[in-house]
C-alpha cells in the first residue's frame, strides 16, 4: 500500500466509448503524474501536474485529456481510443522539495481497447 489508489483496476472499452481513470493520493503531495506502460516497453510520462500547473508530453494524443481538480485527485479522460492505446496506466505522486523527491506509484489500471 503506497498511499496512491487507482480505479478501476481493469477496464475494457470500445473505440467509440468515453471513460475516465481516477487516481487519489493520501500522502499530502503537491505533484501528480500519469504514465503509460505498453507491453515490453519502458514507462512513458504522459502528464505532470505540479502545484496545480500542467506539464505535458507533446507526443500524447488529444484523445487523452487529464484533469486535476485539487492536489489529491487526478483523472485521465479517454475518448475514441485506438487498440494501440491498450496498456497499463500508472498514476504517481511526489512532494516537490529541495534534495530530491521520490515518486510513489499506484497499482495501475490495465486498459484494453477493443
Partner 1 sequence: DAKTTQPPSMDCAEGRAANLPCNHSTISGNEYVYWYRQIHSQGPQYIIHGLKNNETNEMASLIITEDRKSSTLILPHATLRDTAVYYCIVRASYTGNQFYFGTGTSLTVIP
Residues at the contact surface with partner 1, assessed by CB under 8 A: 2, 4, 31, 33, 42-43, 45, 48, 50, 55, 88, 90, 92, 94, 96, 98-108, 110
Q: How far is the CB of 108 from partner 1 (least distance, A)?
A: 5
For 98, phi then psi, to 5°, come to -70, 140
List, as own/partner pairs, every contact residues 103-106 make where C-beta atoms lie below 8 angstroms and the sequence separation is at least 24, other chains included: 103/33, 104/2, 104/3, 104/4, 104/25, 104/27, 104/29, 105/2, 105/4, 105/35, 106/2, 106/4, 106/5, 106/6, 106/23, 106/25
Q: How far is the CB of 28 from partner 1 (least distance, A)?
A: 16
C-alpha to C-alpha distance for 54 and 68, rounded to whole angstroms: 9
Q: How far is the CB of 110 from partner 1 (least distance, A)?
A: 7
Cβ-based nearer residue to partner 1, 15 or 55: 55
Cβ-based nearer residue to partner 1, 68 or 90: 90
Cβ-based nearer residue to partner 1, 16 or 59: 59
Q: How far is the CB of 72 from partner 1 (least distance, A)?
A: 16
Amino acid at each position: 500500500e503506497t498511499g496512491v489508489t487507482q480505479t478501476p483496476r481493469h477496464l475494457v472499452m470500445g473505440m467509440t466509448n468515453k471513460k475516465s481513470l481516477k487516481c487519489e493520493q493520501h500522502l499530502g503531495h503537491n505533484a501528480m503524474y500519469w504514465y503509460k506502460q505498453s507491453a515490453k516497453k519502458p514507462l512513458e510520462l504522459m502528464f505532470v501536474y505540479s502545484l496545480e500547473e500542467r506539464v505535458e508530453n507533446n507526443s500524447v494524443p488529444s484523445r487523452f485529456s487529464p484533469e486535476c481538480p485539487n492536489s489529491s485527485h487526478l483523472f485521465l479522460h479517454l475518448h475514441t481510443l485506438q487498440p494501440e492505446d491498450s496498456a497499463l496506466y500508472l498514476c504517481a505522486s511526489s512532494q516537490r522539495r529541495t534534495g530530491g523527491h521520490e515518486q510513489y506509484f499506484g497499482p495501475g489500471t490495465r486498459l484494453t481497447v477493443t
